Amino acid sequence: MTRYALGVDQDLIVRAELARQQEAARVTINRGIVVLAMVPLVLLAAAFAAIAINSATAVLLAILGAGAYVFVGAIGGIALITSGAIEHRRIAKQLRAIDEPRQLPAARLVVR
């Protein structure tokens, strides 16, 4: 095998690993969106539980539990989305750097 063939294989291995990491970053973003989307559902469930239970202590516990999830879920969801987006951008830059030497040169306009 020539050096060129080994280099191409190595580039493909690196590119495949970067593509896998980029997909993992997308999954992280999606998890953050799901965590944020669960916040209103937890609040709604707590409101229904408070209405159904109709006990002062149970209502207080349901509201405190929902409030805790809102606080932790919102921070966690935003953190997941942010970290996934930063990772995705970093990997996209690396993929562009790998692909750049293989790109066709820009077309030139010929004026006659």
Q: How far apart are CA 66 and CA 33, in angstroms?
A: 18
In a domain, residue 37? The reply is yes
pTM above 0.75, yes or no: no
Residue pair 48/40 in contact (Cβ under 8 Å)? The answer is no
**Is the pLDDT score of 1 beyond 70?**
no
In a domain, residue 20? The reply is yes
In a domain, residue 13? The reply is yes
Domain count across the chain: 1
Residue pair 95/14 in contact (Cβ under 8 Å)? The answer is no
Token pair in block for residue 57:
């202590």
Residue pair 67/1 in contact (Cβ under 8 Å)? The answer is no
Domain enclosing residue 71, as ranges: 9-98
pLDDT tens per residue, range 23-44 = 999 999 999 999 999 988 888 8
Where is pLDDT greater, at 40 or 3? Answer: 40
Share of the chain above pLDDT 70, in %: 87
In three-state secondary structure terms, 101 is helix
In a domain, residue 17? The reply is yes
Q: How far is CA 86 from the centre of its chain?
A: 9
pLDDT tens per residue, range 69-98 = 888 988 999 999 999 999 999 999 998 888
In a domain, residue 112? The reply is no
